[in-house]
Amino acid sequence: MIESPPASDTRRLPLTIAAALMVIATIALYWPAIGVGFLGDDFMILHRLRGIERATDVIRFFRGEFFEYYRPLAFVTHAIDWSIAGQNARQFHFTNLLIHLVSTILVLLIGRSLSPRPLAGLLAAALFAFHASNNEAVVWMSARFDLLATCFALAALYWFQKRAENHPPQNPEYYGSMYNGRSPTTDFDLLENAQHALLKHDHIRYLRRTDLRRRTPGSRSI
pLDDT digits over 52-84, tens only? 877 888 888 888 766 667 888 889 999 999 989
Q: How many C-beta atoms lie closer than 10 Å to residue 216's C-beta?
A: 11
Exposure class string for 112-150: b at 16+ Cβ within 10 A, else e:
bbbbebbbbbbebbbebbeeeebeebbbbbbbbebbbbb
Residue 212 or residue 166, greater confidence = 166
Q: Identify the three-state secondary structure at position 66.
A: strand
> In 3D, which of 68, 67, 88 has the Cα closest to residue 78?
88
CA distance 123 to 129: 10
Q: How far is Cα 75 from Cα 55, in angstroms, rounded to an integer?
A: 13
Q: Which of 40-54, 60-74, 132-146, 171-185 has the highest mean pLDDT?
A: 132-146
Q: Please give the average per-residue pLDDT across 14-30, as a whole number.
A: 94
pTM: 0.71
Rounded Cα–Cα distance for residues 23 and 93 (Å):
16
- Bridge partner residues of 66 (DSSP): 69
pLDDT digits (tens, 9 = 90+) for 208-220: 555 555 555 554 4
Average confidence (pLDDT) over 107-130:
91
- State the pLDDT at residue 107: 95
pLDDT the model gives residue 57: 83
3-state secondary structure of 69: strand
Helices 72-85 & 42-49 angle (0-180, nearest 10): 70
